[in-house]
C-alpha cells in the first residue's frame, strides 16, 4: 500500500511539470476531467463515488486517493464512500477487496484531518 501523502506529492509534481511544459495532451486530459466531473444528470458527488469504485477495481492508488477525497469534499458521507467501495469489492471479487484497504485508509485519514492536505 502506497503512502498517501507521497502519492499526492508525486501527482502534483507531475501535474505542475506537464502544465509548465505546455503538454497539449495533458491539458486536454484536464479539460476532459473537468467536463466529466461537473454536475449534470448525475451530480459531481455521485460521479466521484463512481470514480471511487472504478479506482478500487483497477487498483489505482492515486485514483483512489483523489476520488475518495473529492467525494468527501463534495459532501459524500463516510457511509456513501464505504458503499461505493463495497460495490467495487463485489464487482472485482477478492482482488478488489484487497485494493479497498487503501481507499478505506484514505477516507480514514481525510476524516481524521478534517479535510484534504495541502497537496
Question: What pLDDT does residue 58 have?
Answer: 95
CA neighbor of 88 nearest in space, from 98, 76, 75: 98
Phi, psi of 80 (to 5 degrees): -65, -40
Question: What pLDDT does residue 115 have?
Answer: 63
Question: What pLDDT does residue 94 have?
Answer: 87
Q: Domain coordinates of the chain in residue numbers?
A: 4-113
* Per-residue pLDDT tens listing for the chain (119 residues): 679 999 999 999 999 999 999 999 999 999 999 999 999 999 999 999 999 999 999 999 999 999 999 999 999 999 999 999 999 999 998 888 888 999 999 999 999 987 655 44
The topology under which CATH files domain 4-113 is AhpD-like (1.20.1290)
CA–CA distance, 84 with 106 (Å, rounded to integer): 14
Amino acid at each position: 500500500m502506497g503512502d498517501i501523502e507521497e502519492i499526492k506529492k508525486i501527482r502534483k509534481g507531475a501535474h505542475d511539470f506537464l502544465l509548465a511544459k505546455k503538454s497539449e495532451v495533458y491539458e486536454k486530459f484536464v479539460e476532459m476531467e473537468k467536463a466529466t466531473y461537473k454536475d449534470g444528470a448525475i451530480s459531481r458527488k455521485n460521479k466521484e463515488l463512481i470514480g471511487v469504485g472504478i479506482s478500487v477495481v483497477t487498483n489505482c492508488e492515486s485514483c483512489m486517493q483523489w476520488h475518495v477525497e473529492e467525494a468527501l469534499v463534495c459532501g459524500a458521507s463516510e457511509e456513501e464512500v464505504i458503499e461505493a467501495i463495497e460495490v467495487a469489492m463485489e464487482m472485482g471479487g477478492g482482488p478488489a477487496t484487497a485494493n479497498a484497504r487503501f481507499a478505506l485508509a484514505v477516507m480514514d485519514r481525510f476524516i481524521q484531518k478534517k479535510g484534504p492536505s495541502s497537496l
